[in-house]
A and B are shown apart, each in its own frame.
Chain A
Amino acid sequence: MWLDDVGLRYHRRGPWVLREVTVSLAPGEAAVVLGRNGAGKSTLLQLAAGVLRPSRGRVLDRPSVVGWVPERFPADQPFSVDGYLTAMARIAGLSSGETERTVRRWVDRLGLGPFRTVRLSQLSKGTAQKVGLAQAMLRPPGLLVLDEPWEGLDAAARELVPQVVDEVLAEGGSVLVSDHRGETVRLPGAREWLVAEATVVERPPSGEAAVAVVELAVPVGQVSATVARLRAEGHHVLGVRGQSAPTVATRPGAGPPSEVTR
């Protein structure tokens, strides 16, 4: 998919939110969109997904099936989780048999089983976000666009996002993710697009800026000491699995992390 000299402004005489954006994403590639709040990350994602039409330039070779996970799932709707996903699957063109199988698979996978009959408006933010992820995956997307997908998700579901991304990439799809919390270290290998001053530049991962995720197995009794030692050495600990109270991800105060453990 190509964005060719794309510009966007929301009003005819308004300021350019994005201009002269030329980027491309090949099948099997992922890109992380970074930038400060209000820089235009969501706008870029919505242009790529086809929600917004560029005021100038063109978006070329967009895959026919696009999955878009909006930043905030629109939960103010009079449907249950099951009813909503079933309707979205039918809207996406799935037959009734396929709809039933696909909805059941994603409900089970995302842990939405206990909420099947709950109305969308009664879901917690994280659970609603899972419904948002499920609706984007009902048909295997050629382009998956995730706008802050980790927002509000619990630890288990956070791990699921990279899995879903890997699956889309493995099937030849492209993935575009925005993130402002540093969660995208979970997507090693993704290209980095920086949105600033109404344009997009690609940041080559190199030298000190590059990070890798290292997974360690540590005896339970030594977890606290190991985590403390790693932090003292300046590493960014993403989280701890396999104990009742997981350690919250923290970033050391000084210096760029040379590696990341979890």
Chain B
Amino acid sequence: MSALVRFRLAGFLRTGRALAPVLAGLLTLGILYGGGRAQPAEAYGVSAVVLFPVLAWQTKVLLDVEPDVQRRLAVVTVGPAREYAAGLVAAAVAGLGLVMVALVFPWLVGGVTGPSLPGERSIPAGVALGLWAHLLALPGAVALGALASRVITRSAGYGVAVLTCGVVGALVFGVAKSAVPWLAPPLLPTARALVGPLPGSTALLLSGWALAWAAVVLSGYVRVRARRA
């Protein structure tokens, strides 16, 4: 399967289509950190929220780069389960690249600051929590991007609609007093949790929530894939 993951990443990078999501990510981060300085954990919590649509879009672009017939050749060669998995893993690896850029970016532009008062989080703790927040956003973004990919939606219009509805839903259902917060991945709840002290139970709940949301969306992706070539 790793050979297929490498093949898909190579196809994604060599076509130059990787450039658009990366530039969009940098632009978003530039706007986010252009306004002032914040504690790392707090800043990264918001960064994970704003990167969610970029990560989902990048996943769609990566999966759509490969011609349909080439995807079918991969199904014949490695079987359907490994073909699905290889696409998702390739998207997750590409997403990790963007997450690393998001973690380094604020230090380059002076968007984050160290602890100024006693009792505030140290920089390593803030960075670790920031990494955690981005890693929580990634599975949901990959799942949403996969659901918006051409093999599922069949047309560019439906693809954009799925992507947009997913992102808007994630923000609308994720607000503080939402009646159905579990309909969205826990992006905004994670960002809110990172403002103050984070109890272990909350971290565990948010992690489980993020993985469960991604699993439900991915099961939809796999169900539809099973019916389509």
Contacts and interface: CB of A to CB of B under 8 A. Distances in A.
A79 B4 CA distance: 14
B67 A87 contact: no
Contacts of B7: 87, 90-91
B11 A73 contact: no
A66 interface: yes
B3 A90 contact: yes
Nearest to A145: B76
A59 to B, nearest CB: 13
A53 B72 contact: no
Which interface class (under 10, 10 to 19, 20 to 34, 35 or more) fits A?
20 to 34
Contact of A135 (B14, B73, B80, B226): B73
B205 to A, nearest CB: 38
A73 B76 contact: no
Nearest to A69: B73
Nearest to A78: B14
Chain A contact residues: helix, strand, loop or mixed: loop
A76 interface: yes
Interface of A: 46, 49-53, 66-68, 70, 72-74, 76-79, 87-88, 90-92, 135
25 contacts: A46-B229, A49-B76, A50-B76, A50-B80, A51-B72, A51-B76, A52-B229, A53-B227, A66-B76, A68-B73, A70-B72, A70-B73, A72-B69, A73-B69, A74-B68, A77-B66, A77-B67, A78-B15, A87-B3, A88-B73, A90-B3, A90-B7, A91-B4, A91-B78, A92-B78
Interface of B: 3-4, 6-7, 10-11, 14-15, 66-70, 72-80, 226-227, 229
Given A53-B227, A66-B76, A87-B6, 5 more contacts: A51-B75, A68-B73, A74-B70, A79-B11, A91-B4
